[in-house]
Chains A and B, each alone.
Chain A
Amino acid sequence: MRVFQMLRLRARALTRSDAVDSDLRAEMDEHLEQMVAESVARGMTRDAALEQARREFGSVTRLMEESREARGVAMISTLAQDLGYGVRLMRRTPGFAAAAALTIALGIGATTAMFSVVYGVVLKPLPYGDAERLVNIWSTAPKRGLPRAFVGMANVYDFKARNQVFEDIAALRAVANFNLTGQGEPERVNGTRVSANLFPVLRVSPLIGRTFTEEEDEIGREHVVLLGYGLWQRRFGGDPSVVGRTISLNGEPHVVVGVMGRDFAFPTRDYEIYTPLTFDPEELVNRMNYSYLAVARLRPGISVEQAQAELSTLALQIEREHPKENEGIGAQVVPMLADTVAAVRTPLYVLLAAVAAMLLIGCANLANLLLARALVRQRELAVRAALGAARGRLIRQSITELVPVLAAGGAFGVLAAAWTIAAVVPLLPADLPRVENVGLHLPVLAFSAATLVLIAVFAGVWPAIEAARGGLAASVADLSRGGTGSARRTRLRDLLVVAQIAATLWLVVGATLLGRSFGELKQVDPGFQADGVYSMHLAIPRAKYPKDRDVAAFCDRILERVRGVPGVVSAGFVNRLPLAGGAQTGPIELEGIDPRLTAGNVDFRSITPDYFSTLRIPLLGGRTFTGRDGEEAPFVAIIDERLAKTALAGVNPVGRRLRIAVGGQPWLTIVGVAGHIRHDRVDEDVRPQIYFSYKQRAQDRMALAVRTHGDPAALGASLVAAVRAVDPEQPVYDARTLAAVVDRSLAQRWLQAAVLGAFATIAVILASIGVYGVIAYAVGQRSREFGIRLALGARRGDIVASVMRRGTLLFAAGAATGLAAAAASARVFGSMLFQVNALDLFSFALATAVLFGVALAACGFPARRAAGVDPSVALRSE
């Protein structure tokens, strides 16, 4: 009670010193007033009484000053005493202090850095009003092989009209390339077309200007634009007068109506332009075009499950009304934040668990260190306890001694975390969502503080209690004879080491699995050769090249120019580069083939003739496209090996016909078969692929691939210059080697494996220190025993074996626990692995063997020392 009262007082004196002062002042004034009143009652005039009272009372200002001092002195004295003791102690044992502080700094630094990522990415609420009520709505079409797809506008309209669970539903289309021209370099900017109600649904207001009006959703009135904060700063220097100005997007004038705030990163930070969403009213009738993302706000009190139930019911209702168009189309409601981070949540939590394991291992070392030290001092403690010192007081002192180390370690840890975040965040893969939120936010610091308290309790309080444990008189006697300490304590120390080995092995198994998985990933043949190829993207503005033939002609001019660049072997265009993100897909039908064999979507790719040779995608049959496969020529297509095998097994595909299975598309004749490639991801092989001639199905978003002699990166600048030479206003983006594109697609997996590998390495080092420490301590304690045994004729080999046996036993216990833990987390690890079983025997065995080797080495040094004991010296020390 008294402690709390004093703490409260001191806290108040520290934080609210002005309030304390004014209280005191009021008190003194009251006192003066009493004195005056007394004198006046005795017949003095008020003025004279006041004069006398002031004289007798003394200077209020000086007294206030003295009071302040009195408070400060009292507060500091006890604290300074305790801390001073701690600091003196640390100075006396600097090696110990440094090791302890370093361990704490490492633990706090790693956990803080890791948690800051977890918090920023997974936990921090989205920067919208009442963000937990925001959900995304997806279509599901399992019968068509699509577990999840965007939604169609007709369905959005029906949901909107009939549901009782949402306040409103907004729609958007996030894939819109804008070529921003005028005022400097042409630039391609990612943009989103959004319905006007998106902003009210998200509950965000623009920084300046306004958002869109309902009328601007109409075709013909949509030439208005909202700028993202980053674009506004970068391109317009943060000039507020940009609102009302007209800028050129895709060659068409758009009026800037507003600028969004710095926090607004919707749907991700890559999008910096917003324009109204217009759509062909025909879509409401034919119920086609599933290419929108729907975002809705739940009514207060409505749960995601309720909303899901309602939409499922509505989807069935709509299917009954439109049995053909809506066959098998369902709806899925997912909380927006969970949806955004779904792919990275498990890996991040695994890494956080890894950091926690590392922290545990470090703490166990620290606890062992402190326990050893506490036991050495046990005699002192025992004497003091015998003289009447309360056990609580002794424990408190032990903890206070730790405070300087904890403070130093904690401070350095947080600093290290800040440096790590600053250094590492820019290197994180660009497809890691919400990475811009990573920082030392308040909840992160609270987490660090909680971790520090945990360290203090685990590593500080516990050994202190242990050392001050009962039977003190006995231990005085025991220690004075230099005994080995109680069996209980030995067991405790052993337990710590077992826990360390278990946690380390868990980490090493995880890291080995991930490493092997990444190795497998690197072995995957993507079906094309990325080495030696340079690539870049172009968004070809339709305002400038309105007709398909204009686009194709523009591509031809660029190709001609690029082929002229010295060092270029070949060059081709494709509308979607492999592993660069984004796909164009749809259903097809093959003439005379059972539709069930061609169910599900295939990738559509429009290419120029040399695309295959540039990427070294093998042509397995027939021919590639030629310049003659133009608009007036017969329509042709090339299919991939996979489609040929699944749908046309045993039949020569060349000469057969196929078409896109969406309303009235023309038939195309198959002229060739190409090798299958990994298109979306290296670790997933989703769809078969078909190719169209760029002249027959022109696309305005194109990627240029160029095969070069030697290092392709060296040619980058001249290739961009070649494009600019054809059209100086044409922006290019994402210009890099194709190998870099492939690496980028693997970056998240690489990072997971690398970070876990780093953690595992640190854990192994820490654990080997732990094993060494415990064994070395035990050897030190038993040196007299070894001396006697040697004197009685034991061989040195026996001594070594006895020490190693103990180490091996400890390792076996730890390894069993660690392997069990690794097996138990198989499901979690499994979700992060590629073609490696989460219970992969090789990984488990390898990790165990490596750790066993390290543990043996850690035991080896103390064992050699044990064998080297000189019996005469050991016995004389009695």
Chain B
Amino acid sequence: MKPIDLVQGTLDLLILKSLALEPLHGWAIARRIKQLSNDVLLVQQGSLYPALQRLEHQGWVKAKWGVSEQNRRARFYALTKAGRLQLEKETASWERLAAAVTLVVRTT
């Protein structure tokens, strides 16, 4: 099946979600999203970065330079407390949206 392009605005949610478990660097975030969605969601890898900058400046994630598992220099992003709250909020609103869309689509 052809992967689906992302709905506008959902990328933030996906990033926040993928960071919920542990701090990750950009490449690992992309990989995590791909894995979690069973390869269904395709994120254009580069588009992560403007999103990460936006999240950082909202105070939802914070970034720190570190060393990746491949022993390379990488910038690790971690959820802040505010980010966690935002994740909950966005998850809730996504679920409402998804439920509503499902309802509309299923109703004949």
Chain A residues in contact with chain B, CB under 8 A?
Answer: 2, 5-6, 9-10, 13, 23-24, 26-28, 30-31, 33-35, 37, 56-60, 63, 66-71, 73-75
Residue of A nearest to B56 (CB): A9
Contact assessment for B57 and A10 in the assembled complex, using a CB-CB cutoff below 8 Å:
yes
Interface string of B53-73 (1 = CB under 8 A from A): 110111100100000101011
Contact assessment for B57 and A24 in the assembled complex, using a CB-CB cutoff below 8 Å:
no
Contact assessment for A74 and B58 in the assembled complex, using a CB-CB cutoff below 8 Å:
yes
Other-chain contact of B75, A27, A34, A66, A67 (Cβ < 8 Å): A27
Contact assessment for A6 and B59 in the assembled complex, using a CB-CB cutoff below 8 Å:
yes
Task: List residues of chain B with CB within 8 A of the CB of A6.
Answer: 57, 59
User: Is residue B81 contacting chain A, with contact meaning CB distance below 8 A?
Assistant: yes
Residue of A nearest to B72 (CB): A30
Residue of B nearest to A65 (CB): B50
Other-chain contact of A57, B25, B46, B81 (Cβ < 8 Å): B46
* A275→B16 CA distance, assembly (Å): 78
* A441→B25 CA distance, assembly (Å): 47
User: Is residue B45 contacting chain A, with contact meaning CB distance below 8 A?
Assistant: yes
Contact A30/B73 with A58-B46, A63-B47 known, Cβ cut-off 8 Å: yes
Closest beta carbon of chain B to A602's beta carbon, Å:
80
* 20 residue pairs from A and B, CB less than 8 Å apart: A5-B59, A6-B57, A9-B56, A23-B75, A26-B73, A27-B49, A27-B75, A28-B26, A28-B49, A31-B26, A31-B27, A57-B46, A58-B46, A63-B49, A63-B50, A67-B49, A70-B57, A71-B53, A74-B54, A75-B57
Contact A71/B27 with A23-B75, A28-B49, A56-B45 known, Cβ cut-off 8 Å: no
Contact assessment for B45 and A35 in the assembled complex, using a CB-CB cutoff below 8 Å:
yes
Task: List residues of chain B with CB within 8 A of the CB of A2.
Answer: 59, 80-82
Closest beta carbon of chain A to B85's beta carbon, Å:
11
User: Is residue B13 contacting chain A, with contact meaning CB distance below 8 A?
Assistant: no
Task: List residues of chain B with CB within 8 A of the CB of A26.
Answer: 73
Contact assessment for A35 and B49 in the assembled complex, using a CB-CB cutoff below 8 Å:
no
Contact A31/B45 with A23-B75, A67-B50, A70-B50 known, Cβ cut-off 8 Å: yes
* A75→B56 CA distance, assembly (Å): 11
Residue of A nearest to B29 (CB): A31
Task: List residues of chain A with CB within 8 A of the CB of B74.
Answer: 27, 30
Task: List residues of chain B with CB within 8 A of the CB of A34.
Answer: 27, 68, 70, 72
* A35→B44 CA distance, assembly (Å): 13
Other-chain contact of A59, B46, B68, B72, B75 (Cβ < 8 Å): B46
* A58→B73 CA distance, assembly (Å): 22
* A414→B107 CA distance, assembly (Å): 68
User: Is residue B100 contacting chain A, with contact meaning CB distance below 8 A?
Assistant: no
Contact A58/B44 with A2-B80, A5-B59, A71-B53 known, Cβ cut-off 8 Å: yes
User: Is residue B51 contacting chain A, with contact meaning CB distance below 8 A?
Assistant: yes
Other-chain contact of A58, B25, B45, B54, B72 (Cβ < 8 Å): B45
Task: List residues of chain B with CB within 8 A of the CB of A5.
Answer: 59, 62
Task: List residues of chain A with CB within 8 A of the CB of B82.
Answer: 2
Closest beta carbon of chain A to B45's beta carbon, Å:
5
* A6→B73 CA distance, assembly (Å): 24
Task: List residues of chain B with CB within 8 A of the CB of A9.
Answer: 56-57
* A711→B74 CA distance, assembly (Å): 87
Contact A74/B46 with A2-B81, A30-B72, A34-B27 known, Cβ cut-off 8 Å: no
DSSP class of A's interface residues: helix, strand, loop or mixed?
Answer: helix
Task: List residues of chain A with CB within 8 A of the CB of B44.
Answer: 56-58
* A35→B81 CA distance, assembly (Å): 31
Task: List residues of chain B with CB within 8 A of the CB of A10.
Answer: 57
Closest beta carbon of chain A to B42's beta carbon, Å:
9
Task: List residues of chain B with CB within 8 A of the CB of A75.
Answer: 57
Between A5, A35, A66, the greatest number of chain B beta carbons within 10 A of the residue's beta carbon is seen for A66
* A28→B49 CA distance, assembly (Å): 8
Contact A70/B54 with A2-B59, A24-B49, A58-B46 known, Cβ cut-off 8 Å: yes
* A147→B26 CA distance, assembly (Å): 79
Task: List residues of chain B with CB within 8 A of the CB of A66.
Answer: 47, 49-50
| 9 extra interface residue pairs, beta carbon distance < 8 Å, beyond A2-B82, A5-B59, A34-B27 | A10-B57, A13-B57, A27-B74, A30-B26, A31-B27, A31-B30, A34-B68, A70-B50, A70-B53
Closest 10 CB pairs of A and B: A58-B46, A74-B57, A70-B54, A66-B50, A57-B46, A67-B50, A67-B53, A34-B27, A63-B46, A70-B50
* A59→B44 CA distance, assembly (Å): 11
DSSP class of B's interface residues: helix, strand, loop or mixed?
Answer: helix
Interface string of B72-107 (1 = CB under 8 A from A): 111100001110000000000000000000000000
Residue of A nearest to B44 (CB): A58
Residue of B nearest to A24 (CB): B49
Contact assessment for A58 and B47 in the assembled complex, using a CB-CB cutoff below 8 Å:
yes
Task: List residues of chain A with CB within 8 A of the CB of B56.
Answer: 9
Between B54, B57, B75, B82, the greatest number of chain A beta carbons within 10 A of the residue's beta carbon is seen for B57
Residue of A nearest to B28 (CB): A34
* A13→B53 CA distance, assembly (Å): 10
* A571→B15 CA distance, assembly (Å): 97
Task: List residues of chain A with CB within 8 A of the CB of B50.
Answer: 63, 66-67, 69-70
Task: List residues of chain B with CB within 8 A of the CB of A59.
Answer: 46
Residue of A nearest to B58 (CB): A74
Contact A57/B45 with A2-B81, A30-B72 known, Cβ cut-off 8 Å: yes
Other-chain contact of B46, A13, A23, A60, A68 (Cβ < 8 Å): A60
* A20→B67 CA distance, assembly (Å): 19
Residue of B nearest to A60 (CB): B46
Task: List residues of chain A with CB within 8 A of the CB of B46.
Answer: 28, 31, 57-60, 63
* A33→B70 CA distance, assembly (Å): 11
Residue of A nearest to B43 (CB): A56
Closest beta carbon of chain A to B41's beta carbon, Å:
14
* A151→B57 CA distance, assembly (Å): 68
Residue of B nearest to A37 (CB): B70
Other-chain contact of B54, A27, A30, A73 (Cβ < 8 Å): A73
Task: List residues of chain A with CB within 8 A of the CB of B47.
Answer: 58, 63, 66
Task: List residues of chain A with CB within 8 A of the CB of B68.
Answer: 34
Contact A71/B45 with A30-B73, A31-B27, A66-B50 known, Cβ cut-off 8 Å: no
Closest beta carbon of chain A to B16's beta carbon, Å:
15
* A70→B12 CA distance, assembly (Å): 12
Task: List residues of chain A with CB within 8 A of the CB of B45.
Answer: 31, 35, 56-58
Other-chain contact of A71, B25, B26, B57, B62 (Cβ < 8 Å): B57
Between B25, B44, B49, the greatest number of chain A beta carbons within 10 A of the residue's beta carbon is seen for B49
Closest beta carbon of chain B to A492's beta carbon, Å:
37
* A23→B63 CA distance, assembly (Å): 11
Residue of A nearest to B73 (CB): A30
Task: List residues of chain B with CB within 8 A of the CB of A37.
Answer: 70
Contact assessment for A30 and B57 in the assembled complex, using a CB-CB cutoff below 8 Å:
no
The B9-24 residues at the A interface (CB cut-off 8 A) are none
Closest beta carbon of chain A to B99's beta carbon, Å:
27
Task: List residues of chain A with CB within 8 A of the CB of B62.
Answer: 5
Task: List residues of chain B with CB within 8 A of the CB of A23.
Answer: 75
Contact assessment for B59 and A33 in the assembled complex, using a CB-CB cutoff below 8 Å:
no
* A68→B53 CA distance, assembly (Å): 8
Task: List residues of chain B with CB within 8 A of the CB of A73.
Answer: 54
Closest beta carbon of chain A to B77's beta carbon, Å:
10
Task: List residues of chain A with CB within 8 A of the CB of B54.
Answer: 70-71, 73-74
Between A34, A66, A74, the greatest number of chain B beta carbons within 10 A of the residue's beta carbon is seen for A34
Task: List residues of chain A with CB within 8 A of the CB of B70.
Answer: 34, 37
Task: List residues of chain B with CB within 8 A of the CB of A35.
Answer: 27, 45
Residue of B nearest to A53 (CB): B45
Task: List residues of chain B with CB within 8 A of the CB of A70.
Answer: 50-51, 53-54, 57
Between A30, A59, A71, the greatest number of chain B beta carbons within 10 A of the residue's beta carbon is seen for A30
